[in-house]
Amino acid sequence: MKKISQSLCILLLLTIYTSRSTQAQTATARDTIRVAILLFPGVELLDFAGPLEVFNHMEGARVYTVAAQSGPMTIMQKMLTVVPEYTPSTAPQADILVVPGGRMEEVMQDSSVVNWIRRTTAQRKLTMSVCTGAQLLSKAGLLTGKTVTTHWAATHMLQQMTPTAIVMENTRFVDQGSIITTAGVSAGIDGALHVVSRLKGVAAAEQIARIMEYDKWEPQAGLVVGKARTQSKRKANPIATKPTVVKKTVATKQAQLKLTSTIDPVCQMSVDGMVADTARYMGKTYGFCSRLCKDRFKKEPTAFLKR
Beta bridge mates, 182? 173
- The pLDDT score that the predictor gives to residue 13 is 53
- The pLDDT score that the predictor gives to residue 26 is 45
Please check whether residue 191 is in contact with residue 130, taking contact to mean a CB–CB distance below 8 angstroms.
yes
116 CB-near residues (< 8 Å, 6+ apart): 66, 88
Q: How confident is the model at residue 289 (pLDDT cuts 50, 70, 90)?
A: confident
Q: Compute the distance between CA of residue 9 and CA of residue 195 in angstroms, rounded to an integer.
A: 48
- At 217, which amino acid appears? W
Domains in the chain, CATH or no CATH each:
32-245 (3.40.50.880), 254-306 (no CATH)
For the cut 80, the answer to whether the pLDDT of residue 67 exceeds it is yes
At 246-265, the pLDDT tens digits run 876 544 555 566 888 888 88
Q: Compute the distance between CA of residue 60 and CA of residue 62 in angstroms, rounded to an integer.
A: 7
At 4-28, the pLDDT tens digits run 566 656 555 555 555 554 444 444 4
The pTM of this model reads: 0.79
Q: How confident is the model at residue 185 (pLDDT cuts 50, 70, 90)?
A: very high
Longest dimension (CA), the chain: 104
- The pLDDT score that the predictor gives to residue 51 is 98
Q: Summarize the confidence of residues 79-100 as an average pLDDT.
A: 95
Q: Summarize the confidence of residues 78-86 as an average pLDDT.
A: 95
Beta bridge mates, 35? 63, 96
Q: Compute the distance between CA of residue 159 and CA of residue 150 in angstroms, rounded to an integer.
A: 10
Q: Compute the distance between CA of residue 257 and CA of residue 253 in angstroms, rounded to an integer.
A: 7
- The pLDDT score that the predictor gives to residue 14 is 55
* Pairwise pLDDT comparison (116 vs 235), residue with the higher score: 116
Three-state DSSP state, 277: strand
Q: Which burial class, exposed, middle or buried, applies to 36 when counting CB atoms under 10 A from its CB (0-12, 13-18, 19+)?
A: buried
